[in-house]
Structure 1
Amino acid sequence: MARVQLFVYPMSSASSSILYHLSIFVHGNEYSYGGGGITTGRSSGNPARSVDLGTTSKTKDEIATFISDLQRKGHFLAENYNLASQNCWCFASKICKFLTGKRLPEEYENMKKSVKKDPVIGTIGSIGMVGKLFGNWSSN
């Protein structure tokens, strides 16, 4: 069994709410999604917070296959990144469910909902400015 952690990185504030970049850390690798697509490896930065999500019996190969299957189905591709609707929180939630069978802690699931309702972020996401503002941000 491998320990699964949620890494939380502060991003800039684009509205009245503080934004965070989320990634999943397991088997010594950090899995994240942003404007450059899905990245795997070790972060060069330190997360502001690390949240224990439990353990997984999934191997590195099973995780790689799961991610490849997502991408083959058109999910979490670089060109689909959108701060309001398809973002690092959605990716972290999907990977967490695959690895642990559970959702992210409620405060992070709620963060996804509140960001979608934020008028500034909704506007930025819908007019394609996300890539210019946040799309190339990466914790790696």
Structure 2
Amino acid sequence: MEYFYGGGILCLEQQEFETFYNIKPVDIIDMGTTELLQTHFHEYLNGIQKNFTVDKYNIVNWNCNNFTNEVCNFLVGKNIPQYILNTPYEVMSTSKGKLILDMMQSYQSSIAPGFDNNQNNATNQQNNQSIQNNIASQDNTFI
């Protein structure tokens, strides 16, 4: 499963993620393994989901890399490499990059108020149900 932050905490099979978002990994970094049961991981995700909502997303300061860092720290006690967390700041250090990020942040600000909170809550409930379904089907598996 691919767990990610995009309008909430979501999970998809890796192939589904790659197909749906048209994104393939550029690099894969082995962060280690965990002995935690998947049920404990899902409980953790349920506990942190309030920090990873669509209204809290910020392309520079609170994004998918921050989510990945939090999860890696929980699972294996390690942070992801700093250069990954610094990517938005590296982009902002160039004039074109700053322009692109400013446009993206303006776009995000313009659509965020239009999100229907009930729809967002429904999405979060669906995500929770998806996580709970995974717990039920994979109760004794390790991730």
- TM-score interval for Structure 1 and Structure 2 normalised by the shorter chain: 0.5 to 0.7
Distance 1:62 1:51 in 2: 23
Q: How does 1:1-140 map to 2 (within 5 A)?
A: 29-34=1-6, 36-43=7-14, 44=16, 45=18, 46-71=24-49, 74-115=50-91, 119-120=98-99, 121-122=101-102, 124-125=104-105, 127=106, 129-130=107-108
Partner of 2:140: none
Q: How many residues align?
A: 100
Distance of aligned partners of 1:105 and 1:122 in 2 relative to their CA distance in 1, 3 Å threshold: same
CA RMSD of aligned residues (A): 2.5
Contact 2:59 2:88 (8 Å CA) reproduced: no
Structure with larger RCO (C-alpha < 8 A, sep 6+): 2
Q: CA deviation at 1:38?
A: 1.1
Output the TM-score relative to the length of structure 1: 0.59
Contact 1:90 1:112 (8 Å CA) reproduced: no
The higher radius of gyration belongs to 2
Q: What is the identity, as a one-letter code, of the residue corresponding to 1:68?
A: N
Distance of aligned partners of 1:64 and 1:112 in 2 relative to their CA distance in 1, 3 Å threshold: farther
Unaligned runs of 5+ in 1: 1-28, 134-140
- Structure 1 or 2: larger strand share? 1
Unaligned runs of 5+ in 2: 19-23, 112-143
Distance 2:75 2:58 in 1: 24
Distance 2:88 2:37 in 1: 28
Output the TM-score relative to the length of structure 2: 0.58
Distance 1:70 1:116 in 2: 28
Q: What is the identity, as a one-letter code, of the residue corresponding to 2:57?
A: Y
- Structure 1 or 2: larger helix share? 2
Percent of aligned pairs with the same residue?
Answer: 27
Distance 1:87 1:122 in 2: 15
Distance 2:92 2:52 in 1: 17
